[in-house]
Every structure is written in structure tokens, then in C-alpha cells.
Amino acid sequence: TYVEMSPFMSANKIKKPILLIHGEEDNNSGTLTMQSDRFFNALKGHGALCRLVILPFESHGYAARESILHVLWETDRWLQKHCVPNSSDASAELDACRDEVSKGVTDSDNQTVVASGGGGPELADFEHEGFYSLPRSLL
């Protein structure tokens, strides 16, 4: 049953862009953080366009205000970038990404991101100038 239900067995079948978000300190025995990391690597290995965001200090359910806002921002950014109205544009973009992966070019979305709350490598990638992050102690 576990083998049949395992997403690892379907990693080669996933052809659409996929965003994975996981709490770093997930205490649910059925959804350990390392499983998301391994699934992400399996997807990358099969050439899928994917992104893994690890939320620090979060368990199975996200509670911190900045984590919830970050999830919303990541989701909005992902949808804006990969859910275009013209499906031919989306398939052309996906094919171009696959070509780049096969040539050894790393897509900026094919990465693991630790959502640290500011100052990390993702800071330059913000498209919204009015985004400011507060330290956890001030929230």
C-alpha cells in the first residue's frame, strides 16, 4: 500500500510545474521534511520544473505570521509565473526549461529555498519593492 501511494513512484509522471512547501520541524511521522527533500530531488532527476521551500521553525501546520505570508507570496509568484492563460505558452516554456536542464543550465526555480525571513539569496528575486520582513520576536 505504501509503495502504491508513494509520490516517489510517480515522480517520473509529473510533467507540470510543482511547488513544494514544508515546515523544517514537521513532527508528523508521516510527512517528514526529508521526504519533501527527496521527492524534490526525484522530480529534478526526472527534469520536472519544481521548487521546494523549507519554512524554518514551522511544524506540520504553519503558525508564524511571516511563514503564512511567505507561503502566500511563494504561491502567488508561482501561479503568476507558471499558470499563464495561454496553454501553448506554458508548454513552450516548460519545453525550454527541460532543454536547459538537459544542457546543464540550472533554472532559478529548480532549487531548495530556506525561507529565512530576509537577507538571503532570495532577497534580490523579490519583485515587490514594498516587501519588508520583521524578525520573529517583533511579531
Q: Per residue in 100-126, pLDDT tens?
A: 555 544 445 666 666 654 434 443 444
pLDDT under 50 in the chain at which residues?
104-107, 117-139
In a domain, 19, yes or no: yes
Task: Give the other-Cβ count within 10 Å of 115's Cβ.
Answer: 23
What phi and psi, each to the nearest 5 degrees, are found at residue 136? Answer: -55, -35
Residue 50: predicted pLDDT: 95
pTM of the model: 0.63
CA 7 to chain centre: 16
The CATH number of the domain holding residue 68 is: 3.40.50.1820
Number of domains in the chain: 1
Q: 61 is in which domain, residue-wise?
A: 2-84
Residue 8: predicted pLDDT: 85
Quick one: CA torsion of 79, 85, 88, 89, rounded to 10 degrees? -60
Residue 3: predicted pLDDT: 83
Residue 92: predicted pLDDT: 66
Residue 6: predicted pLDDT: 83
What phi and psi, each to the nearest 5 degrees, are found at residue 52? Answer: -120, 125
In a domain, 112, yes or no: no
CB 17 within 8 A of CB 82: yes
3-state secondary structure (DSSP) of residue 21: strand
